[in-house]
Chain A
Amino acid sequence: MLQYAAIVLIMLGLYGILTQRNVIKIILSLNIMEIGLNLFIISVGYVTDGIAPIMTTNHNTNSLIYVDPLPQALVLTAIVIGVGTTALGLAIAKNIYSKYGTFELDEMEEE
């Protein structure tokens, strides 16, 4: 079941965020969690034997069985937002590295 796989991915990401102390690894865990979430969103709209919600010359009417297009639109938004946060997180990580010379949160001097 795809939905359970998605939840496993989300929980893997969450476990990583809770246990890792390396800035880059935390960002990676965040990404794993977001991928799991995106997979979950997509899976919610799946219909058995449904076709992709794009009309073409082969699938040319609205009376066919399409999969739910709304989660696909939502996932596009979620992916773009994920890209934005990742880019920002990496920029902060680069700043942290140039300030402390390490990515390990435990090795940093308390401010």
Chain B
Amino acid sequence: MKNFLALILTLFLGFLIMSSLNNNIAFPKFGEANIGDRVSDAYIDRDVTENPGDVIFGETDGLESGPANIVTAIVADYRSFDTLGEVTVLFVSALGVALLLGTKKQKRLEIDFHPNFMLRVGSKALFGVILMTGIYISIHGHLTPGGGFPGGSMIATSMLLLYLADDNFRAKVKGFKILESIAGSLYVLIGIIGLIIGGSFLVNILDTGVIGELFSAGIIPIVYVLIGLKVGSEISNVIDNFLTEEGA
């Protein structure tokens, strides 16, 4: 009976959404979005503070926001404050996992699977490659798809590999905590420095360079590396907390 009511409710709600979106002339049909009417237009043309004219990859310099990846320009520059909030969400949930699961004396969870020699050695060889890719993706977030969040997750994946391939492995959680704390504090401090020098929080205080070059976009690569390190250490912490239990 309860399931039936839930079914009726969800069907009704779904029908309500679909029909009213369908009848809504102001809501653009799929693929017909008019970006010219939206704020995103200014993000593509980079003309929020002043109009730079045509933006050409590899030539235009000194833009208000320098990343060639427009999504990165929004995430780490135009709406950087959201990203700070998002980093905080991940920070506080990782902290919560540690609060809920962490006790002082921990040992690895007993799993009914013991990796053999080949797996242990092979995973150590792969570990470096995955770690480097993660860092590469974090650093190139302003040029290519990717950035601090995927890069950080990849760093955490390399840690997960070590955990899975070696049933005695424990990472140095204390080190992760210090890394996480420093990276987070630096992010906020960069914002406050921007407030003091540039007059508003998280303002881009460095030269934005030529669009499309590795050393461009001012503080964005720095911020993304910090985010990468922070996300990597937080998720590694979460992995450690889930794979350990109380014991000697």
- Do these two chains really belong together in a complex? yes
B residues less than 8 Å from A70 (CB atoms): 38-40, 43, 74
- Say yes or no: A19 contacts B100, CB within 8 Å: no
Q: Distance (Å) between the CB of A81 and the closest chain B CB?
A: 5
Q: A18-B9, A81-B86 are in contact. Are A73 and B93 (CB under 8 A)?
A: no
A10 to B93, CA, bound (A): 24
A residues less than 8 Å from B58 (CB atoms): 57, 60
B31 close to A (CB within 8 Å)? yes
Q: A66-B35, A68-B33, A70-B43 are in contact. Are A55 and B10 (CB under 8 A)?
A: no
User: How many positions in chain A have a CB within 8 Å of any CB in the partner chain?
Assistant: 52
Closest to B74 in A: A73
Q: A7-B14, A11-B13, A68-B35 are in contact. Are A91 and B241 (CB under 8 A)?
A: yes
Closest to A1 in B: B30
- Say yes or no: B56 contacts A61, CB within 8 Å: yes
| Size bracket, chain B contacts | 35 or more
- Say yes or no: B79 contacts A73, CB within 8 Å: yes
Q: How many A-B residue pairs have CB under 8 A?
A: 149
Closest to A94 in B: B101
A61 to B97, CA, bound (A): 45
- Checking A12, A62, A84 against B93 with a beta-carbon cut-off of 8 angstroms, the contacting residue is A84
**Which 8 A-B pairs rank lowest in CB-CB distance, beginning with the nearest?**
A60-B57, A84-B93, A48-B31, A18-B6, A53-B70, A73-B74, A62-B55, A11-B14
B-to-A contact residues, CB < 8 Å: 2-3, 6-7, 9-11, 13-14, 17-18, 21, 28, 30-33, 35, 38-40, 43-46, 54-58, 68-71, 73-75, 79, 82-83, 85-86, 89-90, 92-94, 96-97, 100-101, 144-145, 149, 211-212, 238, 241-242
A-B residue pairs in contact (CB < 8 Å), sample of 18: A3-B21, A7-B17, A8-B14, A14-B10, A19-B6, A44-B28, A54-B68, A55-B57, A56-B68, A59-B57, A61-B55, A67-B35, A76-B71, A76-B86, A77-B75, A80-B90, A81-B89, A85-B93
